[in-house]
């Protein structure tokens, strides 16, 4: 589900008109549907009901404090990748005892901070990191709870920049050497507590097959580590893909028609139905680390058309959001549906490039796409921008970061102010 629909011809987020939010907060503007976030979290939680589990939201997808607070309130754990993310989770009222800390390059400062806070597990990505953790924990007279990330060498069949479970990726430890590594850690590293096993094969997986392959491959290893070392949890990572083709988008009906029941994108329910039977007899707590699934379809980026430029080869709609605000099309050729705030009166379409103001040819939101026409002064929503949207935004071209609004039912709260020009230089000496 997502919380965006036309009501009396105007695009709403839940019960709030996007036009009204634009009038109040300007553009570019991120708007999130709290109801959608909670719905996705609860559906995933329910789909895993058949096995002891915890949903640890991957903070990197959207780390706004209010989003974290909403998820903490509904009982989510958190998967973090930096000291900064841990800081955010704590500020939002999250419980460090329900935090896992992933990432290939944890610094000493981050390790000390996370040890002091008492996080649930460090998801360790190499033997070198494991030994370093042992050293730092030893200096602090603590034991560091650990899960080593296994690289199962499974093809996630996703964009190459977001595939992580193959041997050639920088992530995790090769499947074959894991048992030996746990044995040596148990013998040689007194300040390491072997608490679990972790894996994550990639992001935006739209088929359940790679998840099944990875779980089936790694389950015997998890069982062995439980017997030999008493591990208590297995994190099977995140990566559940979402549908970027939006039902409000022109051509959506045709898109759905080209998909048969078998190749329809992965649903939360299918994920649970396929994986729970393969996990439930292990006697391990199963952790999930979803990011995109929880927040992706729960957010849009609203942008205003500034100019229309008709060139020899193309028509460009130049909008006030750029690749610094939403980098996914430039970086991963990501598709975001582009939907006018005012419902189009006819089915007429124009073929356009929607581009931003940044001085790069990669600064586009779509190329040669048939869209309902819109004109300077009018606004469109870039859909499914809730994950890796604001979280990846930058000040490139000295552009202030956009504002963010969280909608819950009929109420809308500004949860991050638009940056000012002064904010841009704050901190520079």
| Phi/psi at 300 (5° precision) | -130, 160
Instruction: Tell me which long-range contacts 277-280 makes (C-beta under 8 A, separation of at least 24).
Output: 277/50, 278/212, 278/215, 278/216, 278/219, 279/51, 279/215, 279/219, 279/234, 279/236, 280/50, 280/51
Whole-angstrom distance, CA of residue 156 vs CA of residue 171:
13
* Shortest spacing between CB 2 and ligand LLP, in angstroms: 16
Whole-angstrom distance, CA of residue 70 vs CA of residue 56:
13
Does 293 engage in binding with ligand LLP (CB under 6 A)?
yes
Structure tokens at 125: 């990505």
Q: Considering CB under 6 A, how many residues would be counted as binding ligand LLP?
A: 21
Do residues 161 and 331 lie in contact, with contact meaning Cβ atoms separated by under 8 Å?
Answer: yes
Site string for ligand LLP, 23-42 (x = CB under 6 A): --------------------
* Shortest spacing between CB 240 and ligand LLP, in angstroms: 6
* Shortest spacing between CB 323 and ligand LLP, in angstroms: 13
Does 143 engage in binding with ligand LLP (CB under 6 A)?
no
Residue in this structure with the two tokens 């709403």, named with its chain if needed: 12
Among 14, 289, 320, 404, the residue binding ligand LLP under the rule CB under 6 A is 289
* 14 vs 85, beta carbon nearer ligand LLP: 85
Whether residue 359 lies in the annotated active site: yes
Among 285, 332, 373, 378, the residue binding ligand LLP under the rule CB under 6 A is 332
Among 82, 191, 204, 246, the residue binding ligand LLP under the rule CB under 6 A is 204
Whole-angstrom distance, CA of residue 85 vs CA of residue 92:
10
Binding positions for ligand LLP, 235-274, rule CB under 6 A: 237-240
* Shortest spacing between CB 398 and ligand LLP, in angstroms: 23
Among 10, 65, 112, 162, the residue binding ligand LLP under the rule CB under 6 A is 162
Binding positions for ligand LLP, 67-96, rule CB under 6 A: 79
Interface residues with ligand LLP (CB under 6 A)? 58, 61, 79, 102, 162, 200, 203-204, 237-240, 289-293, 328, 332, 387-388
Question: Active-site residues: which are they?
Answer: 359
């Amino acid at each position: 589900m997502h919380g965006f629909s036309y009501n009396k011809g105007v695009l709403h987020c839940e019960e709030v008109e996007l036009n009204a939010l634009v009038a109040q907060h300007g553009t570019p503007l991120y708007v999130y549907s709290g109801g959608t976030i909670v719905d996705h979290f609860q559906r995933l939680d329910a789909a895993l009901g058949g096995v002891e589990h915890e949903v640890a939201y991957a903070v990197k997808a959207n780390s706004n404090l209010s989003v974290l607070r909403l998820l903490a309130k509904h009982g989510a754990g958190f998967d973090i990748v930096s000291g900064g993310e841990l800081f955010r989770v704590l500020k939002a009222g999250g419980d460090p005892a329900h935090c896992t800390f992933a990432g290939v390059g944890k610094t000493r400062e981050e390790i000390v901070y996370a040890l002091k806070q008492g996080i649930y597990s460090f998801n360790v990505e190499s033997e070198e990191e494991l030994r370093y953790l042992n050293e730092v924990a030893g200096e602090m007279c603590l034991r560091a709870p650990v899960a080593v990330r296994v690289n199962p060498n499974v093809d996630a069949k996703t964009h190459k920049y977001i595939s992580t479970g193959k041997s050639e990726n920088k992530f995790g430890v090769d499947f074959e050497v894991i048992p030996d590594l746990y044995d040596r850690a148990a013998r040689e590293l007194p300040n390491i507590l072997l608490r679990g096993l972790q894996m994550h094969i990639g992001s935006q997986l739209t088929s359940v097959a790679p998840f099944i392959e990875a779980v089936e491959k790694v389950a015997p290893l998890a069982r062995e580590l439980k017997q030999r070392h008493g591990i208590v949890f297995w994190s099977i990572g995140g990566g559940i893909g979402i549908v970027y083709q939006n039902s409000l988008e022109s051509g959506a009906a045709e898109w759905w028609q080209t998909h048969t029941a078998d190749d329809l994108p992965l649903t939360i329910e299918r994920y649970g139905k396929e994986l729970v039977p393969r996990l439930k007899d292990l006697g391990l707590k199963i952790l999930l680390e979803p990011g995109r699934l929880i927040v992706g379809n729960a957010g849009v980026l609203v942008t205003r058309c500034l100019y229309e430029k008709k060139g020899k080869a193309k028509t460009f709609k130049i909008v006030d959001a750029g690749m610094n605000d939403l980098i996914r099309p430039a970086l991963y050729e990501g598709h975001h549906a582009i939907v006018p705030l005012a419902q189009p009166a006819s089915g007429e379409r124009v073929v356009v490039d929607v581009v931003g103001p940044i001085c790069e040819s990669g600064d586009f939101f779509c190329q040669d796409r048939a869209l309902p026409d819109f004109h300077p002064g009018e606004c469109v929503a870039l859909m499914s921008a809730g994950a890796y949207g604001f979280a990846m935004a930058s000040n490139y071209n000295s552009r202030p970061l956009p504002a963010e609004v969280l909608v819950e039912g009929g109420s809308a709260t500004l949860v991050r102010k638009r940056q000012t020009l002064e904010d841009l230089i704050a901190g520079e000496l």
